[in-house]
């Protein structure tokens, strides 16, 4: 079904723009047209469908659910909810405080917040269509593993002591069941459609420029970096290339939507999978704007711990994937 | 005069919400005092997790999106 976008790109690139199929600009332009049209088509269809299904799931419900459950299960559920809810950086602070003041341990809240930017329906969809289901599963698995272990670690070191005083106080004085159970009636189809329409416009508004930036970068890599450059220089998964990829990813700020087309190109060009994943996750999750926001509820010390925690886990997973991949 | 607070961390939607409320109030000829509240602590104390949220005369009326015109007109009555 998706081959229609390849044909569209063929026609535009070679017939309308008159570029040669084997030329560098030809390859780059073809990649750009094929990926942007395909991605936008998939985004519109899938966000709408998923939003229809997700309409009745709101953060209040998630909070009540997480507050009522036991710990070990809590980390897994925190991370799962993080994966299935869309992420908007402007809501991360209210969500953090809402969870904390409901008495949910900081680690479980962080499982939610760490997983949320890494995995969402848009990311999974792009991965599936651009790099295939195997890498999608690996990506989702690593994203959730980082969220869950990160959360457990933060509770082990009693991270709540490192919150801003007002947040710590809210946590300590929390009553477990202070919120009324959600008794709103189920949603009708029309309400679901309304919600899905708003979600669709909202998410598109947030990600469209990232799609263009990501695909343009991917296209540039695709057309202009020599076929064998990565393979010759980094292809054997040299150990230092993984931490280097993570470090390079820090100042680059993107969301998952923008980074996945780049990921596609890197993999096609022969950069080892672990190195690629480490780079992409670092770009998405370890971003300074995000961290500056969290400063409102955390001390610098806790922020630094979380930052190092993320970089370490991406490096370790990058190494592991490279080792497994080369066996 | 009604006091209307828009809760949110300063994202574009919160700014739009505040502007829209002011606009509707002007159209209806109601005098309002629209305040943008960005302090995380205050937002938490209202129990709000999805912003922008709207508080009219200290009562939480709405959260999670830019409210539509009809809703705003009702608050101003």
For A95-115, write each residue's pLDDT tens digit. 888 888 888 899 999 999 888
Chain A nearest CA to B23, separation (Å): 22
Chain B nearest CA to A184, separation (Å): 15
How high is the pLDDT of residue A265? Answer: 85
How high is the pLDDT of residue A54? Answer: 78
DSSP secondary structure code for residue B23 in this structure: H
What's the rounded Cα separation, in Å, for the pair A147 and A79? 6
- A200 part of contact set with chain B, CB < 8 Å: no
**What is the pTM assigned to this prediction?**
0.80
Q: What is the three-class DSSP state of B50?
A: coil
**CA distances to A59, A196, A200, A304, B59 from A52, in Å:** 16, 5, 10, 39, 30
Residues of chain B with Cβ-Cβ distance to A51 below 8 Å are none
Nearest in space to B42 (alpha carbons), one of A295, A93, A182: A93
ipTM (interface pTM): 0.83
How high is the pLDDT of residue A157? Answer: 93
Indicate if the pLDDT at residue A316 is higher than 90.
yes
How high is the pLDDT of residue A149? Answer: 94
Which one has a higher pLDDT value, A179 or A150?
A: A150
Three-state helix/strand/coil letters over chain A:
CCHHHHHHHHHHHHHHCCCCCCCHHHHHHHHHHHHHHHHHHHHHHHHHHHHHHHCCCCHHHHHHHHHCCCHHHHHHHHHHHHHHCCCCHHHHHHHHHHHHCCCCCHHHHHHHHHHHHHCCHHHHHHHHHHHCHHHHHHHHHHHHHHHHHHHHHHHHCCHHHHECHHHHHHHHCCCCCCCCCCCCCCCCHHHHHHHHHHHHHHHHHHHHHHHHHHHHHHHHHHHHCCCCHHHHHHCCCCCCHHHHHHHHHCCCCCCHHHHHHHHHHHHHCCCCHHHHHHHHHHHHHCCHHHHHHHCCCECHHHHHHHHHHHHHHHHHHHHHHHHHHHC
The tens digit of pLDDT for each residue in A27-56 reads 888 888 888 888 888 889 888 888 888 777
Q: What is the three-class DSSP state of B3?
A: strand
Q: How do strand B53-56 and strand B2-7 relate by DSSP bridges?
A: antiparallel
Indicate if the pLDDT at residue A178 is higher than 60.
no
- B35 part of contact set with chain A, CB < 8 Å: no
How high is the pLDDT of residue A233? Answer: 72
Give percent of chain A above pLDDT 90.
Answer: 16
Asked whether the beta carbons of residue A58 and residue B47 sit closer than 8 angstroms, the reply is: no
Taking residue A22's Cβ as centre, other Cβ atoms within 10 Å add up to 7
> In Å, how far from its chain's centre is CA A121?
9
The tens digit of pLDDT for each residue in B27-62 reads 888 888 888 888 888 888 888 888 888 998 888 888
The DSSP H or E segment spanning B53 is: strand B53-56
How high is the pLDDT of residue A151? Answer: 93
How high is the pLDDT of residue A181? Answer: 53
Judge contact between A151 and A107, C-beta under 8 A.
Answer: yes
Smallest Cβ–Cβ distance between A91 and the set B10, B47, B50 belongs to B50
Least confident of A62-66, A151-155, A273-277, A317-321: A62-66
Least confident of A5-9, A146-150, A275-279: A5-9
Radius of gyration of chain B (CA): 11
Q: What is the three-class DSSP state of B29?
A: coil
Smallest Cβ–Cβ distance between A94 and the set B10, B13, B49 belongs to B49
Judge contact between A291 and A251, C-beta under 8 A.
Answer: no
- B49 part of contact set with chain A, CB < 8 Å: yes
Judge contact between A136 and A124, C-beta under 8 A.
Answer: yes
Chain A, window 207-246: residues with a beta carbon less than 8 angstroms from a chain B beta carbon: none
The tens digit of pLDDT for each residue in A274-287 reads 899 898 888 888 66
How high is the pLDDT of residue A89? Answer: 67
Give percent of chain B above pLDDT 70.
Answer: 100
Indicate if the pLDDT at residue A94 is higher than 80.
yes
What's the rounded Cα separation, in Å, for the pair B16 and B66? 7
Which of A12-26, A62-76, A233-247, A296-310 ranks highest by mean pLDDT?
A296-310
**Band of pLDDT at residue A131, cut at 50, 70 and 90:** confident
Which one has a higher pLDDT value, A153 or A65?
A: A153
The tens digit of pLDDT for each residue in A9-28 reads 888 888 888 787 777 788 88
What's the rounded Cα separation, in Å, for the pair B43 and B56? 14
Asked whether the beta carbons of residue A293 and residue B9 sit closer than 8 angstroms, the reply is: yes
Average pLDDT of chain A?
Answer: 83
């Amino acid at each position: 079904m998706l081959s229609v976008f390849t044909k569209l790109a063929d026609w535009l690139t070679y017939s309308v723009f008159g570029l040669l199929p084997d030329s560098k600009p030809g390859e780059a332009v073809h990649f750009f047209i094929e990926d942007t049209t395909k991605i936008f088509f998939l985004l519109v269809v899938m966000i709408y469908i998923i939003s229809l299904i997700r309409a009745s799931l709101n953060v209040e419900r998630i909070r009540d659910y997480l507050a009522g459950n036991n710990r070990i299960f809590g980390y897994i559920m925190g991370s799962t909810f993080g994966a299935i809810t869309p992420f908007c950086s402007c809501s991360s602070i209210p969500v953090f405080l809402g969870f904390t003041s409901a008495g949910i341990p900081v680690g479980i809240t962080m499982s939610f917040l760490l997983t949320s930017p890494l995995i969402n329906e848009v990311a999974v969809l792009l991965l599936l269509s651009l790099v295939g289901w195997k890498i999608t599963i690996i990506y989702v698995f690593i994203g959730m593993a980082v969220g869950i272990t990160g959360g457990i670690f933060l509770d082990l070191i009693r991270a709540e002591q490192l919150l801003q005083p007002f947040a710590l106080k809210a946590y300590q004085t929390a009553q477990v069941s202070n919120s009324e159970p959600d008794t709103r009636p189920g949603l009708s189809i029309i309400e679901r459609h309304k919600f899905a329409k708003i979600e669709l416009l909202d998410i598109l508004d947030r990600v469209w420029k990232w799609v263009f930036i990501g695909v343009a970068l991917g296209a540039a890599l695709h057309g202009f970096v020599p076929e064998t450059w990565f393979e010759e220089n980094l292809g054997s998964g040299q150990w230092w290339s993984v931490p280097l990829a993570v470090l390079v990813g820090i100042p680059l700020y993107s969301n998952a939507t923008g980074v996945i087309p780049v990921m596609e190109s890197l993999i096609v060009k022969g950069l080892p999978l672990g190195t690629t994943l480490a780079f992409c996750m670092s770009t998405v999750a370890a971003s300074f704007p995000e961290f500056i926001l969290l400063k409102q509820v955390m001390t610098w010390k806790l922020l630094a711990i979380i930052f190092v925690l993320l970089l370490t886990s991406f490096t370790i997973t990058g190494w592991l994937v490279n080792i497994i991949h080369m066996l | 005069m009604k006091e209307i607070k828009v809760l949110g961390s300063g994202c574009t939607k919160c700014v739009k919400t505040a502007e829209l409320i002011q606009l509707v109030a002007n159209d209806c000829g109601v005098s309002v005092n629209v305040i943008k509240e960005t302090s995380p602590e205050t937002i938490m104390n209202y129990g709000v997790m999805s912003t922008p949220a709207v508080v009219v005369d200290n009562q939480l009326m709405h959260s999670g999106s830019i409210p539509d015109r009809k809703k705003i007109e009702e608050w101003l009555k």
